[in-house]
Structure 1
Amino acid sequence: MAESRNLRPLQSAVALAYRSGEPAPKVVAKGRGLVAEQIIAVANEHGVHIHESKELVSLLMDVDLDRQIPPVLYRIIAELLAWLYHIEAAQKSGMPLPPPPDTSSPLTEEDQNR
């Protein structure tokens, strides 16, 4: 008799870091399965905000570790960084948190043609 299991899809995670003065954020961690879970756990432990976007993670998984994100992703990552700054400001002032940006289609048609 075949046993039916509830297998959840393999989770992926990518961590970005941006330092002032650098031209673009870098991919500092990425992985699937247990590694992805560890990336998320470490982010949670350190109070790092997490944004879920399968489409964006898929694109970022193609970037080598310690490499800057490609220019085609600058716009969407800039929107995410702006969202994070708004979250920090809202937390300090007691205002409601802003909604996350829509990253379901991280590349515009113009970006895709580059």
Structure 2
Amino acid sequence: MAPRVVAKGYGVLAETILRTAREHGLYVHESAELVGLLMQVDLDSRIPPALYQAIAELLAWLYQLETNGGTPRPP
């Protein structure tokens, strides 16, 4: 099952989403290109197949981050 877009926004809403994620110990990856693509996906919709490769690479990188004590290779 593909991941879903569970939150998105611009301006103050975007800052609130980022702050809340960080407060809950979630890693925030910043990629303007990926954000631009994901902003085109409806909220609560599955990631489209065209983005699977980019999302898979990001998830693999995050897995490395968690398993290597915070020292991953760049995605």
TM bucket normalised to smaller = over 0.9
CA distance in 1, matches of 2:41, 2:21: 20
Higher relative contact order (CA 8 A, sep 6+): 2
* Count of residues paired in the alignment: 75
The two structures have a TM-score, normalised by structure 1, of: 0.63
Do structure 1's residue 100 and structure 2's residue 70 form an aligned pair?
Answer: no
Amino acid of the residue matched to residue 100 of structure 1?
P
How many Å separate the matches in 2 of 1:38 and 1:90?
Answer: 29
Structure 1: stretches of 5+ with no match in the other structure: 1-22, 102-114
Q: Which has the higher strand share?
A: 1
1:65 has 2:43 as partner: yes
User: TM-score, normalized by length of structure 2?
Assistant: 0.94
Q: Which runs of 5+ in 2 are unaligned?
A: none
Q: Which residue of 1 aligns with 2:64?
A: 86
Question: Structure 1: which 4+ aligned runs deviate by more than 3 Å?
Answer: none
